Structure 1
Amino acid sequence: MFRTALRNVLAHKARLLMTTLAVLLGVAFVSGTLVFTSTVSEAFQRSSEEGLTHVDVAVRPDNDSEAAEASPGDAANLPQELLDEVAALPGVASATGAVSGFAALADQDGDLVGAGWDTTGANYYAGPDGGAQDVRYPMAEGRAPERAGEIAIDSETAERTGYRVGDTARVSVDGPVREETITGVFTTDDGAVAAGGSLVLFDTATAQELWTAPGEYTQITLQAAPGTSQEALREAVAPLIPGDAEAITGERLAADQAESIEQATSGMRTALLAFAGISLFVGVFIIANTFTMLVAQRTRELALLRAVGASRRQVTRSVLIEALVVGTVAGLAGFASGIGIAAGLRSLMGSLDITIPEGPLLIPASAVIASVVVGVVVTMLAAYLPARRAAKIPPVAAMSSIHAAPTARGLLVRNAIGAVISAGGGALVLAGIGADDNRGATMGLGAALLVIGVFVLTPLLSRPVIAAAAPLLRLGGVSGRLARLNAVRNPRRTAATASALMIGLTLITGITVIADSMARSIDRMATESLRADYVVSMANFAPLSPEVESILAGQPGVTAITGLRMSPALVAGDPDPMDLVGVNGRSIGELTDLDFTAGSFEGLAGDRAVVDTDTAEDFGWSVGDSFPVTYEDGTAGELTVSGLYEGNMMISGIMMDAATLEPHMDRVTDMQVMLRTEGGAGDATRERLEAALGDNPAVQVQDREDISEDIAFMFTLMLNLLYGLLAMAVIVAVLGVINTLAMSVFERRQEIGMLRAIGLDRRATKRMVRLESVVIALFGGVLGVGLGVFFGWAVGELLSDVISTYELVLPWGRMAVFLALAGLVGVLAALWPARRAARLNMLAAIKAD
């Protein structure tokens, strides 16, 4: 039986080609994901470890310590006194005080350098006397910065921008532009720089002024003297550090960074593997369809095997051995293709200016094992039912050319099961909308059951849906009528072929409905809750200096302005800190359009505060109630509720007058600045405001239209990414249509030969196969779009409880495009089968068994 199975694989290799390709694509997605994410993770870990070469022990603030959690603010920075104490310990070869934060560098064209979030700044620590060398940043050219107005840049940034020692560069830390002279170019093992970021060094005093306070550091790193272990040095340092700080070894720091990198890449890996799983799931339909048709075409052969003594188990085993061979070949080929995909993804990242540290392509053992296992298991599982069906062929069927077709009773049972599963799935989806707990899980389970139920019901659904297309098919004449009859002749086969496309379009349509609805809702929220003409913020949403508000307030035509200053506080005895938002109480009402259920912004000053209704409900507050607060600096106070407003994702929380909040803030900053002007939003006004801020590339001045465009761009980018990932599932579905049509042509060669003999010409034959393909593809498209709209509506009902402005948007234009693409899939998939059908020798086909 083993030799028989191998001969069958070789005999039907052309017919198994599409099945092999379907499995290969899914496996390639899996192996490519594992290779790519492993390579990225290893590259970043190696780069991170290189950056810790000179660190044996690091002392840093610990926000998770009991001392830090007792206060609403972050743990305190490390003082100069602590640096001096640890530097004097026996076993310490060197001690370095580090200060770091965001620093945006503009290139010579005024554009932002680096990867946005990785545009960082730090200090060059020259020792307590100012004459030491910072081992972290060896100078390749020039010298280190020694005073205000001087900076050094990393060598990769210098190469990208063309900056040289002596040039003047524009830098922004928190809004205002600083003109700095480049005094040196240094080399670094910093992982962020290796990943495409930029690093700007200031002298220590300037860096402390920018990010901490005079005499304070964000971290202290120690290098051990020869003969002193990292753990011994850590134990010596531990008694000296305050309760809200921690001392960790370099080895532990490297392990923590490796774990952080692994967590970051694991999310990407999980997402990519999920889409690979979708592609493989779609491939299951193709495999099952292929083996079902092969079994049907080999009815006489299998029945003869039974007649000469083969048992049912042997027949089942022979079909599964065929699946094993196909799965193994597809798995190995998919693994090899996955390596190519990983290499291609790495090159693509480079072309998109997303830099990955240099390193070899890492091929983990998990990629090899997963490729083979996934290819074999998926193929054999999909082939199991056709194998069982093959074993049930009675020996007497060898006397007939065609085995008995599925009985009406079998279809009735299938339809009943499908109806029950579909009803249960739909009920769970609706129950998830109204449930109080586990709503997402309930809805997810219901969605999965509904998809399965619809798949089981597709043979029943195929007849009315395809019948609805009959008027259009009549335009194709005889070919159209034959195409309709062929499409409904074997409803199980049509259903399996259409279901592969249905799943891809269900996901695409559902995601599109949700994304378009979310974009519209957030756009409404952003624009309807704002009266401000402009919102000013850092490009990476880092804090703004209060100087930005002062500069803008002094511009002609500005009629109202406020910064949004956020400070953590302990509120009403709640152990979890909550942000207080400081605003200009006199102008905030002119800049926002919030619905107040009680009170207003009127008189927002002193200890008065307005609170969103959700927060007020959680604490049981109403207008006139007072509640205690512990500010960021530990000072206790009391606020009185003067208004309750309907909050949203853009504006919510406890708002109070900034003049009351500022004295309690460790560092006064704004998250954004809102303002109105006399003439309203306009290009000239924007240019004037940008010029006042020094045409700073790190600061964005946006009107409401810009905010809407940003929201639309974000969702469009997300949609395009998801479309790209789901394209693999659609490609696999296309292979399924090609495979089914090609094998159907082979199966009906006698019939096609007879049609040719009685006058159906080659062009009409091609048209018949193409129309059949289009009908099947559109059937899957209609089901997919319908299910996608239903799921999009259901998820929207969940989101409407969170987003008050949520509005269901049905993208009719895109849905029409999806259906048109489904039809195009049918046309393209039919090219080869139609050509093959038209070229059949009619006499040879009529005589074929």
Structure 2
Amino acid sequence: MIALLDRLRLFTIREFTTHWGRTVASIVVLTVCSAFLVAVIGISGSLTGSIEKLTAGLAGNAALEISGVTDAGFPQQVRADVAGVPGVAAAVPMLRASAGPDSDRLLVLGVDSSSTALDSDLKGAVRGDALASLLSVPNGVLAGPGTGFTKGQQVQLGPARITIAAVLEGKQLSQLNGGHYLVAPLPVAQRITNRVGQLDSVLIVAQPNTDAAQLASALTTAVAGRALVSTPSARAAQTGNAVVMVRFIASMGAGLAFVVSAFLIYNTMSMALAGRRPVISMLRAIGARRQTIVRDVLAEAIVFGVVGGVLGAGLGVLAGRYAISLLPGAFTQMMEARLQYLLPWYAIPVAVLAATLTNVAASAVAARQVYRVAPVEALAPVGASRADVVSTRLRVAAALLGVVLVAAALIIQRAHLGLFAAAALGFAFGAEIVLAFACAGPIVGAAAALARRLGPAGVLAGVNIDRAPRRVWATLMTVTIAVGMTITITGANADATRSARESFASLADTDAWVSMSAEDMIPTTLLPDDFVDRVSAVPGVGRVVQEQLAFATLAGTKALVYGVDTGSNDSTFHALDAEHQRRLLAGEGIVLSRDLARTLGVSSGDELGVQTPTGEKRVRVLETISHFSGAGGTAAISLVLMRDWFARPGSTTLQVDAAPGVDANQMISAVRAALPPEVHVYAGTAALDGISEAMQEGLVLSRIMLVIVAFIAAMALLNTLTLALLERRRELGILRAVGSSRRFALRMVLAEAAAIGVVGAGLGVVFGLVDQYFYSLLATDMLGIDVTCRPGPLLAVFTAAALALSLLGSIPPALRAARLNIVDAVSAD
């Protein structure tokens, strides 16, 4: 043990303190990647955890739940029908609806006295003093701790004016939906939401020793297709599917971040071991075994991994909270729960473990050099040792591994694995790296040939490149990764946003849209019944087309359903040919987005069973279309069927066109003046821009990942160029001693960096274009639209930026080379 501690103190710890910059660079890479993983897990966990927490808080000891197919709920009679089913101890009715402005939606909970049968978070709210206050105040409600309301305050909410009978207090009630809710007697809640006689949920408390499967079957028979019978946790599962786009982007980002970090860690450790060859030689000379040295290296890797993982965990929590606040409402509004940041318990342990394993794996690959270093050989200059030569067998193995990774990426992409398809891009990126390693000779040769064209200083730079192929390849690949990732992320984001915008282009053909939601939200709130007449009576209005949107559960999958009418400019209707438009309007069937059709396992011509508040309906699938489905999938039926099947009379949007000769902007102003201020009236172009903005906000994780990769690449590039200078410190001193000027040394380092930057940028452009195309294939599958890959004019900008990055990274080591003290450089270390 004493010998071990002395060895670590004399060699390992001394190495850390001598080259502290290298140590910091390694920890920074791991910290950033760990932070990204914690942020990703936190975002995904928050999206599903918020609804899980709310559902568990309301359901209590309920075994099953009767829930509505849409947010219109189901008739109150269903509660009476299921209450008499054998095995039901209590059937607790509940209305759960959102109300208020989009910026601060409140969850309205309508309950009655039977809710005391639930062992839920609300149990304390509907008894005692709070219940007495609620019953004594006309139109009274109980306000959650997070609403900001005060006792006795009167609030206009929807068509009803309510009075805050009391403000609830306590930790448990504060945690329920973040405290943003109102508890009201069931009749009051129905008036607030304008849904008299309707329920959203009936929570079933089972009698002791009741068989759950038999009870569910009996309840399904009693419901007769008018509602859904499932466990309370089924809501969270549907919500998780509905926000799959955000989770897909987050998961893909985490995978890419760790692929990049593994390479950069290998890069750093490989350079570090090359710089420590004299130390390794000394250890070998005094009798140390290769296995002992490798174990020390891996022990370092474990320590670095744990430290970087723990540091990154704290940053990841902050990044996750920030990213959650940036998610657009269009991607989260299908969640009745208020989005809260909820970090799963396993997030930090997984991040620390992932960072440690990544560091150990990359360090283990780099530590193979130890087995090729002999005591005398290790004292040779860089390039003279066989440890600097890449064996043919290793290159062949890398080529085979690259082929396997390419095949795995293609198989995953074609298998339609949903969220797990995010791994395909990581496999593709890893394949490119190992294939580039297999071709390291020609790549390094190209850099050396280019350097020799840069004058006398470039000739020496070319010699230096030839003598250290491993180091040059690693440095060059750092530039390649920076360029490739930049092109992939920015190009893929542009492709996805442009393709989504093109799929909604027909929205701009309408002069004005009227809804209760802003243009970047999905309009699912019903408009008052008299709005059609009021808008039609506005001077200058030529035509009004009604439409209705609602989130509905189709065969267990939550999807956005469009109810369209004649003359609609909605994108789902516009994507059909004339014959299918006629059949859809005639009520002959349903149109599904491709991803929803694949999830449901149906295609054109198949029959689909749809549960509705009026019972199950059988409908023919008319067509499957390409349509942006960031919210789980889309479907379209005629407006007549929408109103009839789902018991949702009215419309959620009005498409308004100006009369011939009337200025559209003036017409929009007139319509806006004729309606209440809480109603949103916006132009068709604004509706289209709202979709683009929501898409851009949904891709915020990709932009964060781009910044992270650029930061890591810049750190790694500076580190490798500095290490390269340390390797050639004595050579540079000898050049100075024989008459070389400081300017010549400066030009030599800059020539080497320029050659590496140009070749690395060129290879990065190739990698970026390939990955951008592959991303478009994955996005087409995940987003439900045809995402086309269109390289933009920014390619030249990215290439120039990469060259500038490599030159900037080379300036500190170049200045250090120019200022090198001759005596210190040629003296023994």
What TM-score, normalized to structure 1? 0.72
Structure 1 CA distance, aligned partners of 2:391 and 2:9? 33
Structure 2 CA distance, aligned partners of 1:799 and 1:575? 24
Structure 2 CA distance, aligned partners of 1:375 and 1:637? 52
Q: What is the 5 A alignment of 1:403-414?
A: 404-406=384-386, 410=390
- SS of 2:654 mapped into structure 1: strand
- Structure 1 counterpart of 2:672, from 686, 690, 701: 690
Contact 2:29 2:712 in 1 (8 A): yes
CA-to-aligned-CA distance 1:183-234 (integer Å, 9 cap, x gap): 44522678797655743455533433565854554345699xxxxx984899
Structure 1 CA distance, aligned partners of 2:346 and 2:604? 54
Q: What is the 5 A alignment of 1:109-148?
A: 112-114=102-104, 116=105, 119-123=106-110, 125=112, 135=126
Q: 1:380 to 1:121 in 2, by over 3 A?
A: closer
Q: What is the 5 A alignment of 1:1-12?
A: 2=4, 3-4=6-7, 6-12=9-15
Paired position in structure 2 for 1:109: none
Paired position in structure 2 for 1:677: 658
Contact 1:98 1:122 in 2 (8 A): yes
Q: CA deviation at 1:307?
A: 5.5
CA-to-aligned-CA distance 1:736-793 (integer Å, 9 cap, x gap): 2222222222221122223333555546545544554454355434323321211222
Structure 2 CA distance, aligned partners of 1:353 and 1:654? 26
- Structure 2 counterpart of 1:562, from 530, 545, 549: 545
Paired position in structure 2 for 1:791: 771
Q: 1:241 to 1:833 in 2, by over 3 A?
A: same
Q: CA deviation at 1:510?
A: 1.9
Paired position in structure 2 for 1:30: 34
Q: What is the 5 A alignment of 1:635-654?
A: 648-649=627-628
- SS of 1:666 mapped into structure 2: coil
Paired position in structure 1 for 2:716: 736
- Structure 1 counterpart of 2:96, from 97, 100, 112: 100
Q: 1:822 to 1:421 in 2, by over 3 A?
A: same
Q: CA deviation at 1:719?
A: 3.8
Structure 2 CA distance, aligned partners of 1:37 and 1:818? 31
Q: 1:191 to 1:724 in 2, by over 3 A?
A: farther
Paired position in structure 2 for 1:158: 148
- Structure 2 counterpart of 1:199, from 181, 191, 212: 181
Q: What is the 5 A alignment of 1:353-752?
A: 367=348, 371=352, 373-374=353-354, 376-395=356-375, 397=377, 404-406=384-386, 410=390, 448-464=430-446, 467-468=449-450, 474=454, 482-483=460-461, 485-528=463-506, 531-539=509-517, 540-541=521-522, 542-545=524-527, 547=529, 548-565=531-548, 582-585=563-566, 587-588=567-568, 594=574, 597=577, 599=579, 618-620=603-605, 633-634=614-615, 648-649=627-628, 655-656=637-638, 658=640, 662-678=643-659, 682-696=664-678, 699-752=679-732
Q: CA deviation at 1:604?
A: 8.6
Contact 2:750 2:807 in 1 (8 A): yes
- SS of 2:311 mapped into structure 1: helix
Contact 1:531 1:591 in 2 (8 A): no
Contact 2:465 2:472 in 1 (8 A): yes
Paired position in structure 2 for 1:826: 806
Which AA in structure 2 matches 1:724?
I
Structure 2 CA distance, aligned partners of 1:519 and 1:684? 31
Q: CA deviation at 1:554?
A: 3.2
Q: CA deviation at 1:113?
A: 4.3
CA-to-aligned-CA distance 1:129-182 (integer Å, 9 cap, x gap): xxx99617965998669667x7664443226xxx7745554x34xxxxx47354
Q: 1:347 to 1:723 in 2, by over 3 A?
A: closer
Which AA in structure 2 matches 1:123?
G
- Aligned-pair identity in percent equals 19
Q: 1:798 to 1:478 in 2, by over 3 A?
A: same
CA-to-aligned-CA distance 1:272-330 (integer Å, 9 cap, x gap): 676555444434444444444454445565456556655xxx12421431341x22432
Q: What is the 5 A alignment of 1:30-69?
A: 30=34, 48=54, 51-52=57-58, 56-57=61-62, 60-61=65-66
- Structure 1 counterpart of 2:303, from 326, 329, 333: 329
Which AA in structure 2 matches 1:672?
T
Which AA in structure 1 matches 2:296?
I
- SS of 2:648 mapped into structure 1: coil
Contact 2:327 2:697 in 1 (8 A): no
State which structure, 1 or 2, has the greater radius of gyration over its C-alpha atoms: 1
Q: CA deviation at 1:370?
A: 6.0
Q: CA deviation at 1:349?
A: 7.2
Paired position in structure 2 for 1:839: 819
Q: CA deviation at 1:59?
A: 6.8
Structure 1 CA distance, aligned partners of 2:338 and 2:553? 41
Q: CA deviation at 1:352?
A: 7.0
Structure 2 CA distance, aligned partners of 1:735 and 1:619? 53
CA-to-aligned-CA distance 1:566-610 (integer Å, 9 cap, x gap): 799999xx999999865443x448999847656486799766679
Compare 401-410 and 784-793 and name the one that shifted more: 401-410
Structure 2 CA distance, aligned partners of 1:496 and 1:16? 20
Contact 1:421 1:449 in 2 (8 A): yes
- SS of 2:373 mapped into structure 1: coil
Q: CA deviation at 1:407?
A: 9.4
Paired position in structure 1 for 2:331: none
Q: 1:10 to 1:568 in 2, by over 3 A?
A: closer
Paired position in structure 2 for 1:810: 791
- SS of 2:439 mapped into structure 1: helix
Structure 2 CA distance, aligned partners of 1:570 and 1:36? 27
- SS of 1:99 mapped into structure 2: strand
Q: 1:684 to 1:124 in 2, by over 3 A?
A: farther
Q: 1:83 to 1:216 in 2, by over 3 A?
A: farther
Q: 1:436 to 1:8 in 2, by over 3 A?
A: closer
Q: 1:209 to 1:421 in 2, by over 3 A?
A: same
Compare 452-461 and 263-272 and name the one that shifted more: 263-272
Q: CA deviation at 1:842?
A: 0.9
Structure 1 CA distance, aligned partners of 2:151 and 2:64? 35
Structure 1 CA distance, aligned partners of 2:575 and 2:344? 57
Contact 1:285 1:382 in 2 (8 A): yes
Which AA in structure 2 matches 1:121?
V
Contact 1:142 1:183 in 2 (8 A): no
Contact 1:601 1:610 in 2 (8 A): no
Contact 1:537 1:701 in 2 (8 A): yes
Structure 1 CA distance, aligned partners of 2:405 and 2:128? 61
Compare 718-727 and 198-207 and name the one that shifted more: 198-207
Structure 2 CA distance, aligned partners of 1:512 and 1:245? 50
Structure 2 CA distance, aligned partners of 1:370 and 1:628? 43
Structure 2 CA distance, aligned partners of 1:601 and 1:415? 58
Q: 1:254 to 1:833 in 2, by over 3 A?
A: farther
